[in-house]
């Protein structure tokens, strides 16, 4: 059924469609009606409270809409705005949207171990903020304030969030559903930006999200440098609807930004990451599952956090990081493994993988061997260094090999494997650990891993 507010609003707007009234007249009528209704309800609440005191002060729970002066001012000003969009006057669609919202919204908020019905309660009627036509079919944005219910869900953070959700056609059955909900407002950690529809290629963003541009993917050049192509978001009625080109949506790299990048394609603010309405979980990145490989082959006395910061800063200074992630805490992900080695010429090399353009890619950083210079890089200071791009890494192969410049040798690694190398037809030479710096003259490496049935898997790989 249509809520009282929605029905009143539609009736008044229909009645004055052909009346030459001053601008904003209808809105003022609605606001005045709301105020009069509040005053009547507030008077009723006062009388009820007096009766409660007279009968002995029985404990009572005042409804949220009678909680006091704050209830006259919605948590989000959009609650009092008329519905926007080209479907704003489509009563049948709006009724369907609100019906779906009432039946599915709290369930959509459910998380692992929590049920939405147990953790939140809505405090005011839902309001359709926007309803419009999109390339993925009709869609609507619904907004409704809530309060947490710690008595039934004590583990969640208490508060009064206002939720904004996308109601549109679902991918499984094509019917209208509440696809995704976020805590409304620009300060939310999940911005008001949704991707949905076939291939999740349709984008909806609100002006409150702060989004300015959209970029579907990171592009990696032949030198390993990363860049992004961006497209501006065009807002109408407070909402931008954007359709990605066929085949360009990349789930792990799709992002919107609150700033337009500079001439080099780099931004100075962290991007706003997408709220994907069609996936609750991202697909796994194609990276090596080496959580414990630490190739400590000399050259650095830094701990793990310092080494990670050093690697990221060196790559960032060389243009090898995602321009939408200007710090290590952004979405520009590196591998869990890293190798540090002391080189014959006194420098240090750091080797790891980085995700970009939907692939794992190898990078080696040659830098001064002194701890002082490395600590400067950790702090973000400029230190002379060389980045060697190793290209795409075949994660299915189970090993990495990277030739270093200036005859400094080879970095070879394979998680939980034993390694040997040889030069030409000479005898095999064993090395310790599952990562090694091999001499530049090495021609082959032998990698032995435990296999099925107690048998070892042995690979002999030419170093070319």
pLDDT digits (tens, 9 = 90+) for 174-206: 899 999 998 876 555 568 989 888 888 899 999
Query: What does the pLDDT average to over 9-21?
Result: 40
- 108 and 187, same structural domain? yes
Considering 71, 99, 122, which residue would you say is the last residue of a domain? 71
Please give the pLDDT value at position 216: 83
In a domain, residue 448? The reply is yes
Both tokens of 244, joined, read: 């990605």
- 67 and 78, same structural domain? no
Considering 223, 248, 283, which residue would you say is the last residue of a domain? 283
* pLDDT(113) > 80: no
In a domain, residue 229? The reply is yes
Mean of all residue pLDDT scores within the chain: 80
**Residue 212 · residue 233 · CB < 8 Å:** yes
Q: Where are the beta strands (DSSP E) in 190-276?
A: 193-196, 202-206, 213-215, 219-220, 226-227, 231-232, 235-236, 239-243, 255-257, 272-273, 275-276
What count of other Cβ atoms lies within 10 Å of the Cβ of residue 403? 18
pLDDT digits (tens, 9 = 90+) for 382-436: 999 999 999 999 999 999 999 999 999 999 999 999 999 999 999 999 999 999 9
In a domain, residue 402? The reply is yes
**Residue 225 · residue 319 · CB < 8 Å:** yes
- 174 and 254, same structural domain? yes
Cα 409 to Cα 402: distance, rounded to the nearest angstrom: 9
Query: What does the pLDDT average to over 324-351?
Result: 83
- 60 and 85, same structural domain? no
- 182 and 120, same structural domain? yes
Please give the pLDDT value at position 289: 85
- 139 and 276, same structural domain? yes
Q: Using a CB cutoff of 8 Å and minimum separation of 24, what contacts does 369-375 make? A: 369/299, 369/342, 369/343, 371/300, 371/301, 371/302, 374/300, 374/302, 374/306, 374/310, 374/348, 375/302, 375/306
In a domain, residue 289? The reply is no
Cα 423 to Cα 46: distance, rounded to the nearest angstrom: 93
Cα 268 to Cα 276: distance, rounded to the nearest angstrom: 24
Please give the pLDDT value at position 252: 73
In a domain, residue 166? The reply is yes
Considering 255, 283, 311, which residue would you say is the last residue of a domain? 283
Please give the pLDDT value at position 464: 85
Residue 244 buriedness (CB in 10 A; 0-12 / 13-18 / 19+) = buried
Bigger pLDDT: 77 or 31?
77
* pLDDT(89) > 90: yes
pLDDT digits (tens, 9 = 90+) for 237-287: 999 999 988 766 677 777 788 877 676 666 666 566 666 666 555 567 788
In a domain, residue 288? The reply is no
Cα 342 to Cα 300: distance, rounded to the nearest angstrom: 8
Please give the pLDDT value at position 23: 36
HSE value, Cβ hemisphere, 13 Å, CA-based, for 225? 8
- 179 and 161, same structural domain? yes
* pLDDT(41) > 70: no
Number of domains present in the structure of the chain: 3
DSSP state of 188: -
- 269 and 335, same structural domain? no
- 351 and 203, same structural domain? no
- 338 and 302, same structural domain? yes
Please give the pLDDT value at position 267: 62
- 274 and 125, same structural domain? yes
Please give the pLDDT value at position 427: 97
Cα 320 to Cα 313: distance, rounded to the nearest angstrom: 10
The whole domain housing 117 covers 74-283
- 262 and 187, same structural domain? yes
């Amino acid at each position: 059924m249509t809520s009282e507010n929605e029905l009143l609003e539609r009736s008044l707007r229909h009645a004055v469609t052909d009346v030459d009234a001053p601008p904003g007249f209808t809105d003022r009528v609605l606001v005045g009606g709301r105020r009069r209704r509040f005053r009547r309800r507030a008077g009723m609440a006062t009388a009820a409270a007096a009766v409660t005191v007279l009968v002995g002060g029985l404990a009572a729970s005042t409804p949220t809409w009678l909680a006091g002066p704050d209830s006259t001012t919605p948590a989000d000003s959009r609650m009092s705005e008329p519905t926007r969009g080209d479907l704003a006057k489509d009563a049948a669609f709006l009724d369907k949207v609100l019906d779906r919202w009432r039946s599915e919204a709290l369930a959509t908020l459910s998380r692992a171990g929590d049920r939405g019905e147990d953790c939140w309660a809505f405090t005011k009627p839902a309001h359709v903020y926007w309803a419009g036509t999109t390339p993925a079919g009709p869609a609507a944005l619904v907004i409704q304030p809530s309060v947490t219910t710690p008595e039934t869900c004590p583990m969640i953070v208490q508060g009064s969030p206002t939720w904004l959700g996308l109601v549109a056609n679902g991918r499984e059955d094509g019917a209208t559903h509440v696809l995704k909900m976020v805590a409304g407002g620009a300060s939310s950690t999940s911005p008001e930006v949704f991707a949905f529809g076939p291939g999740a290629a349709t984008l909806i963003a609100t002006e409150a999200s702060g989004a300015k541009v959209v970029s579907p993917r990171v592009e990696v050049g032949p030198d390993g440098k990363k860049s992004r192509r961006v497209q501006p978001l065009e807002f109408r009625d407070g909402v931008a609807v954007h359709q990605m080109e066929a085949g360009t949506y990349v789930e792990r790299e799709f992002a919107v930004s609150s700033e337009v990048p500079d001439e080099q394609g780099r931004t100075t603010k962290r991007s706003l990451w997408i709220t994907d309405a069609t996936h609750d979980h991202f697909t796994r990145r194609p990276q090596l599952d080496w959580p414990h490989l630490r190739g400590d082959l000399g050259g650095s006395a830094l701990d793990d956090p310092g080494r990670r910061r050093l690697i990221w800063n060196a790559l960032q200074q060389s243009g090898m990081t995602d321009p939408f992630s200007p710090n290590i805490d952004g979405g520009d992900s590196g591998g869990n493994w890293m190798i540090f080695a002391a080189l014959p010429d006194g420098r240090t090399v750091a080797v790891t993988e980085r995700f970009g353009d939907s692939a794992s890619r190898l990078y080696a950083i040659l830098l001064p061997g002194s701890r002082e210079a490395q600590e400067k890089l950790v702090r973000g200071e400029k230190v002379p260094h060389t980045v060697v791009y190793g290209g795409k890494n075949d994660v299915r192969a189970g090993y990495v090999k990277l030739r270093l410049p200036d005859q400094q040798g080879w970095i070879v690694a394979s998680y939980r494997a034993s390694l040997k190398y040889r030069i030409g037809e000479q005898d095999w030479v064993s090395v310790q650990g599952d990562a090694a710096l091999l001499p530049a003259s090495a021609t082959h490496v032998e990698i032995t891993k435990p296999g099925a049935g107690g048998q070892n898997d042995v690979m002999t790989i030419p170093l070319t």
